[in-house]
Amino acid sequence: MQDPRLKIRCPRKALQWRVYFVLCILMLTAGSYAQTQPKISSSVDTTTIKIGEQINFTVTVETDTLAQVIFPEGQTFSPLETVEAFETDTAIKADRMTLRKIYALTQFDSGLYKLPAQRIEINGKGYFTDSTQIKVADVPVDTLAQKMYDIKPLIEVEKGNSGLWKWLLGILLALVVAGGLAWWFFLRKKPLSEEEKVALLPPYDRALMELKKLENSKYLIQDEYKEYYSELTNIVRSYLEEDVNITALESTTDELITKLEMLRDAGELQIDNGTLQQFKRILQTADLVKFAKSKPDTTVAEHDRKAIEEIVTKTHEALPEPTEEELMEQAEYQEELALKKQRKKWRMAGLAALALLVLTTGASIAYYGFDYVKDTVLGHPTKKLLEGEWVASTYGYPPISMETPEVLIRQDVKLTPDMKANIQDLQIFMYRNSKALFTVGTTSTTLTQQVEPNFEQSVEMFIEDLERKGAKNIITKQEEFTTVSGVKGIKVYGSGQFAVPESDELVRGKYSILLFGGKGFQQQVILTWLEGDEYAEKIVERIQRTLEVKTDV
């Protein structure tokens, strides 16, 4: 029989072990949770600076080595301005890492400013740093030590053509390339080939050179008598046609001999009858070889070549010396031929440049499209804005940050007594391009009462202002808008017929109003552009994509 006390003690011991086991598990879990929980800290090297001086704001994050940490970027420290964000310093120890990032901040107006809490994203979860008060003190100026002058009036400055040199450089390079190609292919003096060098020789020298070449040929060795005599007679006939100025190539043997006899009888060619008879015999032998398939002895063929060489020499010596008038006519003729060749080269160069231009234009149109090429050549105002250097800046307070093609200019605004009852401060910045009919503006309004802004009233006032300026048939749509950082607002957009400045003309245009705000303040971004302007559409899309607003006043 068992002792009853054992029944009581055993469950107690079992219960105690269970409690110890659970406590151990909880302690281990708590330890591991403490290890994985990230730690965020921030500090500034000073809380008091002078205007334009910098402070270093340091953010330190301690977390696991596998964690993904995203630090704030851009102008997120407003009303302070970011001068520089330094590279993140990383230190790893065991399975923990410490990330340290420093931001250089400044402010150019005196006063007491709040450095807002910054959001650090770790593994998709947001953690915030502490906010800090920064005092910006005036720089003391000794007005007695130097003479003071009145503020100079504003000077109207024409907008510089900073991008003109790029166009001029591109055109200059294109002309240099086209000129180089034209010179290389058409205008430069190209090295002559052997055939061209022979063709430029005087008829007498060329005939002797060709006869010498015929002597070294293999026609007779290969029993090619027809080719031999054909080339022999062509050489002498070409010489007579060029130097003696008779139609020798198309004449028969008898006709050619008759023409030479007539020149001899007229005293224009001093050649004896024996030379003519010998020439006639060689021509008749050549006719028999070419047409009757006669085959003379090799020694006869070689003798005929030598005889033709002597006939060419005698004929050349028998020609009278050209008169001064003939020489002048020949010089003028040669000069005119050179001019014709030069004009032909220039025409070819012009046609080549025109063909290159047409080919380049056609290829550009095929690749980019006709409208893009036309806008690039003629210059489209919004295309220049889209492809120019953009400006990233913050406007007004509460601040509105965004990228724009040009910096927005502060507008002078005077509050009426009725407006002062509800508005404490109103800051407007605007850029307007009348040629492109493009406008972008921001409005930051601080209310006198801590009440929610009336967005509907703001939109109605904007539409009424458009109608007062001549706009008609205005269509209005509305939807929710969210910035990249997650700030939600309202987007009111639509189209209508807008009046062209300084004209009675109406054009189809579009508009977009982005409204944000909270208790005691309101922020607006207004955009207007020409309907169908694809470059303006891309500008608006980029502005809206880069838009950020601060809702912490």
Can you read off the two tokens belonging to residue 25? 């598990």
302/341 same-domain check: no
- Is residue 222 domain-shared with residue 290, that is, in the same domain? yes
- Distance in angstroms (rounded) separating the CA atoms of residues 212 and 207: 9
Question: CATH code at 430?
Answer: 3.40.1000.10
Residue 118 lies in a domain: yes
Q: Which two tokens stand for residue 99?
A: 């990330």
Establish if 152 belongs to a structural domain: no
Among 320, 350, 369, give the residue marking a domain's end.
320
Considering its fold, how many domains does the chain have in total? 5
Same domain for 435 and 360: no
What CA–CA distance (Å, rounded) separates 40 from 284?
117
Instruction: Note whether 348 and 459 are same-domain residues.
Output: no
According to DSSP, residue 45 is labeled S
**CA dist., res. 210 & res. 208, Å (int):** 5
Domain endpoint, select from 363, 378, 393:
378
Residue by residue, pLDDT tens for the chain (553 residues) are: 344 443 434 444 444 544 444 444 444 444 444 446 888 999 999 999 988 889 999 999 999 888 888 888 877 888 888 888 899 989 888 888 999 999 999 988 888 888 888 889 898 888 889 888 999 887 665 555 555 666 667 666 555 555 555 666 777 787 778 777 777 766 666 666 666 666 667 888 888 899 999 988 898 888 898 999 999 999 988 988 888 888 888 889 889 889 888 888 887 888 888 888 998 999 999 899 888 888 888 888 899 999 999 988 888 887 766 666 655 665 666 677 777 777 777 777 777 777 766 666 666 666 656 666 666 665 577 888 888 888 888 888 888 888 998 888 888 878 788 777 788 888 889 998 877 788 899 988 888 888 888 888 888 888 888 788 777 788 888 888 888 788 888 888 888 888 777 667 788 888 888 888 888 888 889 888 888 888 888 989 898 888 888 766 5
Residue 169 domain flag: no
| Residue 165 covered by a domain | no
Rounded distance between C-alpha atoms, residue 445 and residue 451, angstroms: 12
Q: Name the residue with tokens 């086991």.
A: 21
Q: Spell out the residues 6+ positions from residue 519 whose beta carbon is closer than 8 angstroms to its own.
A: 450, 451, 452
Residues in a beta bridge with 477: 493
Asked if residue 486 and residue 360 are part of one domain, the reply reads no
CATH number at residue 101: 2.60.40.10
Q: Let me know whether 454 and 508 are in one domain.
A: yes
Q: Looking at the domain assignment, is residue 336 inside a domain?
A: yes
Q: With the C-alpha atoms ordered 355, 358, 363, 364, is the resulting torsion angle positive or negative?
A: positive
Q: Are residues 397 and 298 in the same domain?
A: no
Distance CA 116, CA 276 (A): 118
Q: pTM higher than 0.75, yes or no?
A: no
Domain ranges, residue 101: 39-137
- Tell me if 147 is assigned to some domain: no
**Pick from 290, 305, 320: which residue ends a domain?**
320
**3-state secondary structure string, 380-394?**
CHHHHHHHCCCEEEE
| Whether 368 and 447 share a structural domain | no
In a domain, 227, yes or no: yes
Q: Is residue 79 part of a domain?
A: yes
Question: Residue 160 has what DSSP assignment?
Answer: P
Q: What is the Cβ-side half-sphere exposure of residue 448, based on CA atoms within 13 angstroms?
A: 8
Is 306 in a helix, a strand, or coil? helix
Residues 540 and 394 reside in one and the same domain: yes
Are 389 and 534 contained in the same domain? yes
Q: What angle do CA 59, 62, 65 make, to 5 degrees?
A: 125
What length does the chain have?
Answer: 553
Same domain, 523 and 448: yes
**Beta strand spans in 24-151 (E):** 39-44, 48-50, 54-64, 69-70, 81-85, 89-93, 96-106, 111-115, 119-122, 125-128, 132-137
Specify whether 369 is located in the same domain as 397: no
State phi, psi for 99 to the nearest 5 degrees. -105, 135
